[in-house]
Structure 1
Amino acid sequence: MDSTPVGKDGTTPERRATQTTLARDGDSTVIAQARHLAAGFLTRVQSEHGLPVSRRAMDLTQLVVSELVTNARKYAPGLVLLDLRFPGGLVEIVVWDSYPVVPIVRAADAGRVGQHGLEIVMAVAQGFEGQREPVGKRITARLALADDPDGDISGRPPQ
């Protein structure tokens, strides 16, 4: 018989530590709440699982969360859902909103004011995808928790 404690929600302590969710109306406080949730989640992953989470990974995770939640709040009315997961050595950031159009990265333009959020996310993420859902869309970004030992600041191979 398995003696692992199970919470009221049916999850084990390990499962609760490796995923967390925020569902909020897209009011002006949701971005700060999402950044705070991301920092707390990575702190728990680090302390409860003994995994390295670099300062850079913490900062980049909060940046990506901020950019994705900002876009959801800006373009989609109503609810914004943020789901943070830990599938191994990565943090997976999933943002759902009600707007069905999946964003595309625009060509770099130093003269353009604003609308660089997705470019930033793509520059720092190890993985990125946008997927239409029956209602709205889901955007997923994956970031490494530890710094690249070769010092590659983006975690991506040089191009």
Structure 2
Amino acid sequence: MRVGYALGGEGGCIADARHHAVAFLDRACADHHLPVAAHVRDFVQLVVSELVTNARKFAPGPVLLELRVNTHAVDVVVWDSEPTVPAARGADPGRIGQHGLEIVKAVSEDLFIEQEAAGKRITARIALSEPGEQSRPPPA
């Protein structure tokens, strides 16, 4: 299952992106009976928020959000028009701000950053189950 959204530059687009993510996960649960734990919902919303915030802050032009889910993971994909590839900074508890990519890496199973002809695409993969945990369908 996958869905895509074009996000405008208005102030509410980050909240809209989080809302789209929750609605997408709700549909995955209802339509495909995929088990999506509360922590996965939280991680997906956090990753969407961080990646869209960075795209709106550092890239001119449109931002595209794509959400994909399968039986193992949720992919949050954000495309923006800025070709510069971001890099996570070293841990610094005294630094205020600029921890977004560190946070995304901490809650994601995998993180892929691809430069494209116009801009870049960042994909964060969030596992549906904890390492070593078996995925179980939701209770009937």
Q: Normalized against structure 2, the TM-score is what?
A: 0.91
Out of 32, 47, 51, the residue aligned to residue 68 of structure 1 is: 51
Task: Give per-residue Cα distances to partners, 1:76-101, cap 9 Å, x unaligned.
Answer: 01100000011331000100000000
Identity rate, percent? 53
User: Structure 2: any 5+ residue segments left out of the alignment?
Assistant: 134-140
Q: Which residue of 2 aligns with 1:13?
A: none
User: Structure 1: any 5+ residue segments left out of the alignment?
Assistant: 1-17, 151-159
| Alpha-carbon distance in structure 2 between the residues aligned to 1:73 and 1:118 | 14
Contact 1:84/1:94 (<8 A) preserved? yes
Aligned pairs (5 A) from 1:42-61:
42-61=25-44
Contact 2:82/2:120 (<8 A) preserved? yes
Larger Rg: 1
Q: Does 1:38 align with 2:21?
A: yes
SS in 2 for 1:33: helix
| Alpha-carbon distance in structure 2 between the residues aligned to 1:76 and 1:119 | 19
Q: How many residues align?
A: 133
Aligned pairs (5 A) from 1:1-12:
none
Shift of 1:51: 1.3
Q: Does 1:27 align with 2:14?
A: no
SS in 2 for 1:96: strand
Q: Does 1:102 align with 2:85?
A: yes
SS in 2 for 1:140: strand
Shift of 1:23: 0.2
Contact 2:7/2:17 (<8 A) preserved? no
Letter of the aligned partner of 2:86 in structure 1? Answer: P
TM-aligned CA distance change 1:47 to 1:146, over 3 Å = farther
SS in 1 for 2:53: helix
Q: Which residue of 2 aligns with 1:126?
A: 109
Report which structure shows greater RCO (CA 8 Å, sep ≥6).
2
Contact 2:34/2:71 (<8 A) preserved? no
Contact 1:91/1:142 (<8 A) preserved? yes
Letter of the aligned partner of 2:3 in structure 1? Answer: T
State the superposition RMSD in angstroms: 1.2
